[in-house]
Chains A and B, each alone.
Chain A
Amino acid sequence: MNMTALPWDLQLLNTLAALLLLLSFAMLSQRRIVALVDLLALQGALLCIATLLLAWRTGSHHLYVSAALTLGLKVIFLPWLLHRLIRRLGVYWDTEPLLNIAGTMLVGVLVVIFAFGLAQPISALASTATRNSIGIALAVILIAFLTMITRRKAMSQVVGFLSMENGLFFGAMSATYGMPMVVELGVALDVLVAMLVLGVFFFQIREQFDSLDLKHLESLKEDQ
C-alpha cells in the first residue's frame, strides 16, 4: 500500500509498530542488563504513545486508562524497580548468550517472517485500522520468547518476559482496541504482583547462590 494514502496518525502508528519490532530485536542482541531495562522502558513508552493515539483516534475512554496504566507500570514503576534491583544485586552484565548474536538475529528474522505469515489471514479479517500490526505483535512476542531462551541471567530473562507482556498488550491493542477493562486491570495487577514476587525471588536466589546466574539453577534433572 502507498503510505500517502494513509492519514498521518495511522502512518505514525505503523511507524511505532515497526519501532517496537526494532526494539525487540535490539533487546535480543543487547548484553548489558541496564541497557536492556532501558530498552524495555522505551518499548513501554512507545506502547503508551500508541495507546494514546488510538484512544484519541477512536475516542474510547478505557484506552486512556490503559494508556495511563502502561505509563505508570511499564514505563515508570517496573524499570525503576528493576534498576533498583540491579543496583542492589550488582548484576550489570549478562554473560555471552547461548547462541551468538548473528545466529540469534537470523533466527529472529525467520521468526518474524513466520509471524507475518501467520498474521496474514487475521489481519485480512480485522476491522481495526491497525490491522497490519497484529503480525508485528505476534513477532514481538515470539522474539521475546527467543530472548528468554538465549539468556543466562535471571534478570534478563525477566526482562524478556516483560517485553513479551508488552507484545501481548500491543497485540490486544492493535487487534481489538484493547480488552475489556476488567481484564486489563486484572492483567496489570498480575504483572505487578509477578514483579513483586520476582523481587522477593531475586533476593532469595541471591542469598542462596550469591549470583543470579541460571547455571546454578540446573540441578533438578533426570539426566544424571
Chain B
Amino acid sequence: MEFVILLGAPLLGAMVLGVFGGRDRAPEANVGFSLVTFLAACALTSRIIAHGNLLVAREQFFIDAFNVFLVTLTAFVGLTTSLFSRPYMRIEAAHGRVSEGQQRLYHSMFQLFMATMLIALTTNNMGLMWVAMEAATLSTVLLVTLYRTPASLEAGWKYFILCGVGISQALFGTILLYFAAEKILGSEGVSALLWTHLNAVKGQLEPSVLGLAFVFLLVGYGTKVGLAPLHNWLPDAHAEGPTPISAVLSGLLLNVAMYAVVRCKVLVEGSLRSSLPGRMLMGFGLLSVVLAAFFLWRQRDVKRLFAYSSIEHMGIIAFAFGMGGPVANFAALLHMTVHSLTKSSIFFAVGHATQKAGTQIMDNIRGLITLSPTVGWGLMMGTLAILGTPPFGVFASEFLILTTAMKQQPWATPILLLALGVAFAAIFGRVQSMVFGDTSARRLPHPPALIPVFTHLGLVLLLGFFIPPYLADWYRAAARLIGGE
C-alpha cells in the first residue's frame, strides 16, 4: 500500500503539474506531492524495519535494507528540494528568467524525475532498472536546458548524448547478464532478470560472460555516477541547470546510479570469485578523486566547483565499495547519505547566494556573511562539512574509509592524502573569500528558504555525533548484503 503511494504520488504529481504546473500555487502543490511521497517512504521504512524485506508486484519490486534507506533519503531530499525550489523559482520568475510554461515543465519533470529514481531504486528487475535510469536522464535533460541559454543547451546536449550512449552500454551489459542467467533460470517469464533470483544463483553464472557484462554495466552506470573519465557531462549539467536540479542531480541521481553499480558488483563478484570488479571500482574511484581535485583548482563558477566536488566524493564512495569489507561498505553507505544531504544543502545555499550576487562567477561573490548571515554561515558550514571537518558526518565516513584504506590498501593512501589536500585548498580558499569580506549586493524579492539548508546540516551534524541504532542496523544489514562478510 505505502508502496503504491510511494510510486503513485510523484507520477500523479507529474501529470497534474504537467497541466497546472504554471499556476502560482504550483510550487505548493509540488511540495505537497513530495510530502506525500516522503510520508509513504517513511511508512514503508517502518514496515521494512518491522517485517523485513518485501517483494511486491510479482517480484517486480523488491525492498531490502540496502535500498529502503536510499528510498527514504531520496524522498526526503526531494521534499526539502521542493521546499527550497518554492521561493527559488518564484525569484527566478520575478527576475524573468522562466516563463509560465517553463515553470509547468519544471514542476512536472521534477515529480517525474523523483518517480523514475524511486522506481530505479525499488525495482527488482534489472531491465526495468535500466529503463528507469534512462527515463531519469530524459526527464532531467529538459530541466537542464530550462533557461534556453546557449550554455544550457550545450550542457543539455552533452548530458543527453553522453548519458544516452553510456546507458546503452549498460543495456548491453544487462542483455549479457540475462543471457548468462537464462541458462540457469530459463527464459520463461522475467525471472532471469530478477535481482533476487540472480543473487540466489550468482555462484553458477558463467564468469566470462558476467565479466564482460560488468564492464558494460560499469561503464554505463558509471557514466551516470560521474566516475572519471566518464564524468564530462556532470559539471556542465550541474552548472547550467536551475539550482534545485543541480541539488537533486548530485544529491540523488548519482546515488541511484551508484546503487545500480553496486547491485551489479554484488552479482559479478559472486560469480567471478575474484576481486577484479573491486579493483576496477577502486581504480575509477582514485582516478575520479585525483582528477576532480585538480579540476577543482581551476574553477571560477561556484556550481561547477561543487559539481566537481561531487565527482570527488563519488570517487571516494566508489573506492570504499571497491575495498569492500564491513567497515568500508558501512562507511560508503554512510558517505552516500551524508554526501547527498550536505551537497544538496550546499546547493541550496549556493542557489540563494548566486541569486543575491546575480552571478555564478566566484570572483564576483563577496561578503555573503555580511549580506545575509544565514546564507553565509550555511554555505560556510556546508563547505566545512563536505570537506570532511568534524563534527559533521562526512568526517565520520571519511575517517572510517581512510583508516580502513590504511589497513587494506596502504598504497592508495598517499594518493588520497594528496587529492584531499588539493581539493581542500581549492574549495576552501574560494568559499572563504565568497563568505567573508565586504560586499555590495541587492536584496531579494522573496525571503530565501533556509530551513532545508539547516535541516540538512543539522542531520549531518547529528550523524557525526550519533547514528541512530536502527539506521546503523540498516547500514550493517546493507553492508552485509553488499558482501561485507
Contact = CB atoms under 8 A, between A and B. Distances in A.
A204 B187 contact: no
Interface stretch (A38-46, A76-84, A121-129): A121-129
A56 interface: no
Contact of B187 (A176, A182, A205, A216): A176
B145 A171 contact: no
A3 interface: no
B260 to A, nearest CB: 15
B190 A172 contact: no
Contact of A219 (B60, B154, B161): B154
Contacts of B428: none
B266 interface: no
Nearest to B127: A183
Interface residues of B, number: 50
Given A126-B179, A183-B125, A161 B208 contact: no
Given A168-B175, A193-B138, A208-B150, A122 B209 contact: yes
A92 interface: no
A186 B131 contact: yes
A208 B155 CA distance: 13
Nearest to B175: A172
Interface stretch (A8-16, A19-27, A98-106, A194-202): A194-202
B365 to A, nearest CB: 19
Contacts of B190: 180, 182-183
A217 to B, nearest CB: 4
B172 to A, nearest CB: 6
Interface in B340-375: none
Contacts of A175: 175-176, 178-179
Interface in B170-193: 171-172, 174-176, 178-179, 182-183, 187, 189-190, 192-193
Nearest to B299: A222
A33 interface: no
Nearest to A165: B168
A70 interface: no
A184 B134 CA distance: 13
A122 B172 CA distance: 13
B139 to A, nearest CB: 9
Contacts of A197: 138, 141-142, 160
A217 B168 CA distance: 23
Contacts of B178: 172, 175-176, 179
Contacts, number: 130
Contacts of A126: 179
The range of chain A's interface size is 35 or more
A96 B168 CA distance: 27
A122 B179 contact: yes
B298 interface: yes
Nearest to A173: B175
B171 A168 contact: yes
B128 interface: yes
B213 to A, nearest CB: 10
Interface in A203-220: 204-205, 208-209, 216-220
B172 A168 contact: yes
A171 B172 CA distance: 8
13 contacts: A122-B209, A161-B165, A176-B178, A180-B190, A182-B60, A186-B131, A190-B138, A197-B160, A198-B160, A209-B150, A217-B157, A220-B158, A220-B235
Interface of A: 118, 121-122, 125-127, 138, 141, 145, 148, 154, 157, 161, 164-165, 168, 171-172, 175-177, 179-180, 182-183, 186-187, 189-190, 193-194, 197-198, 200-201, 204-205, 208-209, 216-220, 222, 224
Closest 10 CB pairs of A and B: A183-B127, A186-B131, A180-B190, A217-B154, A175-B179, A190-B134, A220-B236, A121-B208, A172-B175, A176-B179
